[in-house]
Every structure is written in structure tokens, then in C-alpha cells.
């Protein structure tokens, strides 16, 4: 049993190093005619849509909100959050839980000042990122921090302005309403969205188990507020005219989570260790 469990979301074949125990490759396999095979057969992947004795809740807990939208489109919209939901509900024995995706992880070296490094995607690169030295560094950082996350960047405008430049306002307004509804103590921190110009975009993180469970649970309660009040749970530019520059506005669940993670850190005064984001191409 590893001290760290990082659900790592895959939706396509990509190089990975399986001979380590703390990054767990996952995929949303679906059911019936929409069932997908693992991204490859080189190692073991966890299908996060299948219930087990230890894992009774799956992302399909939220399927009803999407009504007549196909299962495949529902899973596409959930993205990495399907794996996050698995991670907090699967009764992991690890002390620390985390979230990553197949081509984004962390370089566990806080002495490297760059916010992001780009490496060639290969099994060897993943082996380097998940080596024993990197895991030891992570555990060392977590002794004195609540969370490890990629370095924040200045977006040149407020977090709210940056979001609304590309995305639909309806979901943003409901998102902010939902935050205060789900946790009223956050009300005094809401100005972070309209004052902060820095954000941990592409958020990959590792945190204490109870904090990730709180984070993801609050997030989905906020999403339920959005789904309960929106005019369209799956805005599709192929079906209607939508006035935003984002080509796939149905991806708003992930875009909102990207902003909720740094807000959660701020609102809960979490002590963080920042390290570079490793982007694999």
C-alpha cells in the first residue's frame, strides 16, 4: 500500500510507466454499447465507472442531471472529475490523495522555479517523474504542507475576467452562487475571484485525504446547483449558436474545477508547496 494515491485520468493511449504505486491510471469505461476498452494493454487501468465492494459510488451518481444527453457525451463532459470522484469514494488506504491527467503531472522539486516544463512523452519520462526520489520529495513536502500543487501564474486580469473572456457567463454566475450556498463560510472570500490575478491553472495536486474529500464533495454539490438551475446542461455549438470563444462549452465542469481548486486553497488558508507543472507532449 502506497502512502499516496493519485487518480490519473486517461481518455486516450499515451506513454506511461506502470511499475510504480502512487500514480494510478484510470479511465471512464462506460457501460453497454458505450463501453470503452482501456487506453492500452501495457498495464492495468482502473475503470472508474464500475462499482466494487469498496466502491459503491461512481460518476453515474450524477448521470440523471444530463437527461437525454448520451452517456458518451456525459462522460466527456465529466472528464478528470470522474476520476476525482472515484478517488474520494474508493476507500483508499493512502494518507494522501491527488488528481492528475495522462499528460500533466508535477515535477516534485520545489527548487526549480519555472512554472511549467515541457518534456517529450515517453515511458522513460514518466519513470523519472514517478521515481522513488520524487515520491520521497512529495512525502517530505506534505509533512509541512496541506497541499502540493503546480505553481500559480499571473493571467493578466482577474480570475473572473479571464474566465469570462472565453466561457459562458451563465455557468460562472451559478458557480459563484453555488459556492456560497454549499459553504456559507466562503462568502467573505468570494472577492478572490474579482481581485486575484493569479491562479493555479491546469491544477494537478496532492493533498491530505480529508481535504480532497472535502474539495471534491463541495465541488459536486456546487455542480448540482448549476445543473439544477441552468437552461442547458450540455451546451453544444453543433446544436445551437453560443456566444463564447470556447469551442467545447460543455467542458465547463472541468473549467470550473480548475478555478475552484485555488479558491478552495485560499478560502481554507491551506499551506501549499508549489512545484513546476510537467507537461508531456
Q: What is the pLDDT of residues 112-140, one digit of tens each?
A: 999 999 999 999 999 999 999 999 999 99
Quick one: pLDDT at residue 203?
80
Quick one: pLDDT at residue 161?
98
pTM, whole model, 2 decimals? 0.96
Q: How far apart are CA 195 and CA 175, in angstroms?
A: 17
Burial per residue of 182-192, b for 16 or more beta-carbon CB atoms within 10 angstroms, e otherwise: bbeebeebeeb
> Considering only CA atoms, which of 59, 11, 21 is closest in space to residue 253?
59
Q: Residue 77 in contact with residue 232, Cβ under 8 Å? A: no
Q: What are phi and psi of 99, to 5 degrees?
A: -130, 135
Cα-based distances in Å from 226 to 220, 222, 231, 272: 10, 6, 9, 29
> Considering only CA atoms, which of 184, 199, 209, 207 is closest in space to residue 257?
199
Length of the chain: 281
pLDDT band with cut points at 50, 70 and 90 for residue 32: confident
The three cell numbers locating residue 71: 452517456
pLDDT digits (tens, 9 = 90+) for 136-188: 999 999 999 999 999 999 999 999 999 999 999 999 999 999 999 999 999 99
Helix (H, G, I), strand (E, B) or coil at 13: coil
Looking at the DSSP bridge assignments, the partners of residue 56 are: none
Amino acid at each position: 500500500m502506497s502512502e499516496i494515491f493519485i487518480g490519473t485520468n486517461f481518455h486516450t493511449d499515451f506513454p506511461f510507466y506502470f511499475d510504480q504505486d502512487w500514480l494510478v491510471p484510470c479511465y471512464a469505461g462506460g457501460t453497454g454499447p458505450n463501453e470503452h476498452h482501456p487506453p492500452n494493454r501495457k498495464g492495468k487501468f482502473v475503470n472508474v465507472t464500475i462499482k466494487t465492494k469498496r466502491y459503491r459510488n461512481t460518476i453515474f451518481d450524477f448521470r440523471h442531471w444530463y437527461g437525454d444527453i448520451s452517456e458518451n457525451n456525459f462522460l466527456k463532459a465529466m472528464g478528470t472529475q470522474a476520476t476525482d470522484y472515484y478517488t474520494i469514494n474508493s476507500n483508499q488506504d493512502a494518507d494522501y490523495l491527488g488528481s492528475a491527467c495522462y499528460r500533466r503531472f508535477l515535477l516534485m522539486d520545489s527548487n526549480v522555479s519555472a512554472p511549467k516544463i515541457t518534456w517529450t512523452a515517453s515511458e522513460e519520462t514518466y519513470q523519472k517523474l514517478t521515481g522513488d526520489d520524487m515520491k520521497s520529495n512529495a512525502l517530505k513536502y506534505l509533512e509541512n504542507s496541506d497541499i502540493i500543487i503546480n505553481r500559480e501564474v499571473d493571467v493578466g486580469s482577474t480570475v473572473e475576467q479571464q474566465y469570462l473572456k472565453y466561457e459562458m457567463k451563465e455557468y460562472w454566475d451559478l458557480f459563484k452562487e453555488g459556492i456560497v450556498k454549499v459553504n456559507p463560510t466562503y462568502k467573505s472570500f468570494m472577492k478572490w475571484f474579482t481581485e486575484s490575478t493569479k491562479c493555479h491553472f491546469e491544477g494537478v495536486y496532492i493533498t491530505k485525504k480529508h481535504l480532497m474529500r472535502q474539495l471534491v464533495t463541495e465541488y459536486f454539490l456546487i455542480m448540482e446547483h448549476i445543473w439544477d438551475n441552468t437552461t442547458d446542461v450540455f451546451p453544444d455549438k453543433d446544436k445551437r449558436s453560443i456566444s463564447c470563444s470556447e469551442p467545447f462549452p460543455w467542458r465547463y465542469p472541468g473549467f470550473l474545477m480548475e478555478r475552484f481548486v485555488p479558491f478552495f486553497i485560499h478560502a481554507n488558508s491551506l499551506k501549499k508547496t508549489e512545484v513546476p507543472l510537467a507537461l508531456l507532449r
